[in-house]
Amino acid sequence: QVTDTLAKEGPNYPSYDWFQTDSLVTIAIYTKQKDINLDSIIVDRQDDSFRAETIIKDCLYLIHIGLSREVQEDFSVRVIESVGKIEIVLKKKENTSWNFLGHPLENHHSLIPRKDTGTEIVKPYTPVSGSLFSEFKEPVLPNNKYIYFLIKIYPTGLFTPELDRLQIGDFVSMSSPEGTFKISEFQELEDLFLLAAGTGFTPMVKILNYALTDIPTLRKVKLMFFNKTEDDIIWRSQLEKLAFKDKRLDVEFVLSAPTSEWNGKQGHISPALLSEFLKRNLDKSRVLVCICGPVPFTEQGIRLLHDLNFSKNEIHSFTA
């Protein structure tokens, strides 16, 4: 039962509807964009105040309403990506018919440039060293002035374009470090295998620094680095120089979208690539495999490693 429709400036301006059944109230947002996904929406409901922020390109579309009747704590959100429609389903506290949805609160039904909104975005990043040739220094001393990051800018991403626009003197807040990797995993290590895809290379930087300087038992480090194209390979020449200088290190690049000139390895992570690459130096050598990249890459890699009889203790995956 559609009881109200609102529309503002022009056909491309987002709009919303609401409709109800005995027990549910559904708020439908028509973004007029096709690239909307669940990550683009933040819903906040407190007492009778209902707020939904939807990221639409460089703007934030806000629904902000004081609801006319009470609703329950839980609600659900679904997105129909093909038409850019978002449905937020609220559960009524009482099964009675609502005459109207509610009254508009601040900035309701408005499109605000994202740079003016002050929304907090939180994303994890992995500190790296200034170069692959830096000595490993741990713990970081308080007089160390710098922290290095290697961050890929996604032109359509939520956070990285903002980061890219920062000027010297601007501020970003940083949390204290989080993670599960322990240096003790390197104890008595003989063979270290690193499987990295794209920016999943970043945790491998300090691992490489540390392994090549601080693990006396280490015989071999092998990095298999998966990227789309040659241009995407982070720090390629440094990696090649390091492998040339330190014979314990081997580096292999695998491209999933190479040009016809590429005569190295191609494809995605696969049983064939891994079984050839992950040869232990000795039958019983103490090994560790570190893996990091897009979630499907890491998940598939872990499955393949188990198939190749690597135990849980021999695998460290970097995940969110």
Residues within the interface to ligand FAD (CB under 6 A): 37, 39, 123-126, 149-152, 154, 156-160, 199, 202, 320
264 binds, options ligand NAD, ligand FAD, none, Cβ within 5 to 8 A by partner type: none
Asked whether 256 and 228 are in contact (CB, 8 A), the reply is yes
- Shortest spacing between CB 97 and ligand FAD, in angstroms: 37
What is the closest distance, in whole angstroms, from the C-beta atom of residue 73 to ligand FAD in the complex?
Answer: 27
Residue closer to ligand FAD (CB basis): 105 or 150: 150
CB under 8 Å to 87, separation ≥6 — which residues? 26, 27, 28, 29, 77, 78, 79, 80
Q: Which is nearer to ligand FAD, 124 or 216 (CB)?
A: 124
**Dihedral pair phi/psi, residue 74, rounded to 5°:** -85, 150
Residue nearest to ligand FAD (CB): 157
Whole-angstrom Cα distance, residue 116 to residue 110?
13
Taking the complex as a whole, the smallest distance from the CB of residue 174 to ligand NAD amounts, in Å, to: 16
Distance from C-alpha of 252 to C-alpha of 132, rounded to nearest angstrom: 16
Residue closer to ligand NAD by CB (options 130, 296) is 296
- Contact partner, 197, from ligand NAD, ligand FAD, none, Cβ < 5-8 Å per class: ligand NAD
Choice between 98 and 235, CB closer to ligand FAD: 235
Task: Please give the full DSSP string across 28-77, using - where no structure is assigned.
Answer: EEE-S-S---GGGEEEEEETTEEEEEEEETTEEEEEEEEESS-EEEEEEE
Q: Which does 129 bind (CB under 5 to 8 A by kind): ligand NAD, ligand FAD, none?
A: none
In this structure, what token pair is assigned to residue 149? Answer: 């990051």
Among ligand FAD, ligand NAD, none, partner that 300 touches (CB below 5 to 8 angstroms by kind): ligand NAD
Binding site for ligand NAD (CB under 6 A): 126, 152, 197-200, 202-203, 226-228, 232, 256, 268-269, 292-294, 296-297, 300, 318-320
- Taking the complex as a whole, the smallest distance from the CB of residue 24 to ligand NAD amounts, in Å, to 35
Written as one string, the DSSP assignment of 182-231 is -GGGGTT--EEEEEEEGGGGHHHHHHHHHHHHH-TT--EEEEEEEESSGG
Q: Choose among ligand FAD, ligand NAD, none what residue 54 binds, the Cβ cut-off being 5 to 8 Å by kind.
A: none
Q: Which is nearer to ligand FAD, 125 or 136 (CB)?
A: 125
For residue 128, which of 200, 176, 230 has the smallest C-alpha distance? 200
Dig out the tokens for 70 from the structure.
């009470």
**What whole-number distance in Å separates Cα of residue 293 and Cα of residue 201?**
7
Whole-number Å distance between alpha carbons of 109 and 123: 28
- Kindly list the distances between the CA atom of residue 165 and the CA atoms of 159, 162, 173, 215, 299, in Å, as whole numbers in the listed order: 10, 5, 15, 40, 33
Which one, 268 or 306, has the nearer CB to ligand NAD? 268
CB under 5 to 8 A by kind: which of ligand NAD, ligand FAD, none does 294 bind?
Answer: ligand NAD
Q: How far is the CB of 164 from ligand NAD (least distance, A)?
A: 15
Q: Least separation, in Å, of the C-beta of 235 and ligand NAD?
A: 13
